[in-house]
Amino acid sequence: MSRPKILVTEVLGPKGLEYLRRHADVDAYDLLPPEELPPLMDHYDAVIIRSAHRLTRDLLIGHPRLKVVARAGAGVDNVDLEAATEFGIAVINAPGANAIAAAEHTFGLLLAVMRNIVAGDAHVREGGWDRAAFLGHELYEKRLGIIGLGRVGRQVARIAHGFRMQVSAYDPYLPQDIFQAHDVREVACLEDLAAQSDILTIHTPKSGPRLDEALLRRLPMGAIVMNVARGGLIDESALARLLSEGHVRGAGIDVFVDEPPASKSPLLSIPGVVVTPHLGGSTHEAMVEVGMMTARGVLDALDNQTPANLVNVPIPDLAEHHLKALDHAIRVAGRIFSRFNPRASRPLVLSVGQGFSPSVIPWLRQALLAAFLEGRVDERVNAVNALLVAEQQGVVLLVEEAHPESESPWLSLRQEGLPETELSVALHQGQLLLKKMAGIPIDLPWPDRALVTCHRDAPGVVGRVGSLVGRYGINIGQLHLGRRSPGQEALMILTLDTDPPDELLHALRQQSDIDNVYAFSRL
């Protein structure tokens, strides 16, 4: 299999480039002139940009080889997501690479404000030693309000728990289980969060809520305000007024509407305000991780896996190993079901077990549709554009919640009203188990290579199949049988050491009592 070819248009960092070059052929530039990018788009499987290039619809259209585009950073404002999704192009970014850096900087500023560290430092350097003048406050048991419980917000919550703070958050886009998983109290109303917060910090993209004067006045007297996210999320003039009045006691500001801020900006002259020059996500470690996270995501996407930093698919908040195991299970289930149901004309029904949280379902739907549709249509289909292609093909997928006895994550797929089409799989300690195929119970770890026969449960069938497979010099590792009832429809699944040739499959289909034969290899 040929190595993919990747274009890097700006400096990515040596570790990220080294990682890419171990797995792909890479052309890398310190800064590719933007006008030179369009004629290159046809020649690469993936393109990685930073901020100097814009990937518009006109630039993305008409490149069948291009599978992945990546932004080596958190924001993807310079990528047309709608167009990329329509064309089945995966969009990768590096959103969590600087999350720890931004969260730590938030607390660095917060401690500086609470303990008067900057003013105390200047006082000592000027020869002073007035300890009483710089008496500070503790974080212990203070009420912290977080606006935006994304990657940075969750890291802020983690650090806050170490200070024994009372942590609440507002994020209308997240399900309740995310708040529970991070031990954060959910507040449904932004105004209520402000009223309950001794310290209010915002960690949203530019599209997040703007903290205007009316909202800031809902803060308790003497509150602290933090912004290590985006300039413009807080009304700087209103914040300066409340600071001057003493309603807000202090602020830590890393980002401004205008950067650098004008020298006459009131926030620069008010005591109790600590400012830094947009340093939140800038650490040596974060810069390395941006390159590595981008590189890993691009290579995973090119390998038809689901990277956690895929932008235009609703990726669930799962540990990486768990996400990869589920991704594999979905791919296997969808492809097997598609082979067994070539003329599926009824709505498909996906049943999910109680081991799945609601936040996983949107991704499950798209990933399963992609696996089912792959090979059934001429165009590229993946989890990115699966919903669009399914709508065009008239494929409907319904989702229902099942209640199995086992608590391990599992799922099943069937045609509506046809239980005999059901396929179900389970995950046990990361291993994929096939539990039912064509409505017939069967229990086996799914192998890399499998030969499946659908046949009538009759004497001699198993022996004849085994003899034919042996005649072609193929070793059988394991054999599993399942049947609907004695003498009726049955399944045989053989685990093979090598892929069966087409001649063997043809010979098996000619055998009496065998209805169909399927070969599966490294799904």
Is residue 506 part of the annotated active site? The answer reads no
- CA gap 358, 364 in Å, rounded: 10
- Long-range contact list for 72-76, CB < 8 A, 24+ apart? 72/10, 72/12, 72/16, 72/48, 72/290, 72/291, 72/294, 73/290, 74/98, 74/281, 75/205, 76/311
Residue of 278, 335, 380, 484 marked active site: 278
CA–CA gap between residue 62 and residue 148 (Å, rounded): 37
Q: Which of 53, 230, 414, 455 is catalytic?
A: 230
Computed on alpha carbons and rounded to an integer, the radius of gyration of the chain in Å comes to 29
Contacts of 182 (CB under 8 A, 6+ apart): 149, 154, 157, 158
Among 413, 325, 333, 321, CA closest to 374: 333
Give 239's contacts (C-beta < 8 A, 6+ positions apart).
Answer: 211, 216, 225, 248, 251, 267
Distant-in-sequence, close-in-space partners of 445: CB < 8 Å, separation ≥ 6: 431, 432, 433, 434
What is each CA distance from 178 to 122, 143, 148, 152, 316, in whole angstroms?
A: 42, 20, 12, 14, 10
CA 306, 56, 298: angle at the middle one, nearest 5? 25
> What type of residue sits at position 434?
L
Structure tokens at 34: 């933007």
Q: Respond yes or no: is residue 230 known to be catalytic.
A: yes
Closest C-alpha among 304, 326, 508, 515 to residue 409: 326
The secondary structure of residue 134, as a DSSP letter, is G
Length of the chain: 523
As a 3-state breakdown, the chain gives helix, strand, coil percent values, each rounded to 5, of 35, 25, 40
Taking phi over 0 as left and psi of -120 to 50 as alpha, with beta for the rest, 513 belongs to left
Rounded Cα distance between 149 and 172, Å, is 9
User: Choosing from 259, 405, 407, 503, which is the catalytic residue?
Assistant: 259
Contacts of 178 (CB under 8 A, 6+ apart): 149, 171, 317, 359
Nearest in space to 519 (alpha carbons), one of 490, 420, 501: 501
Q: Catalytic annotation on 322?
A: no
What contacts 319, CB < 8 A, 6 or more positions away?
none
* Residues tagged active-site: 230, 259, 278
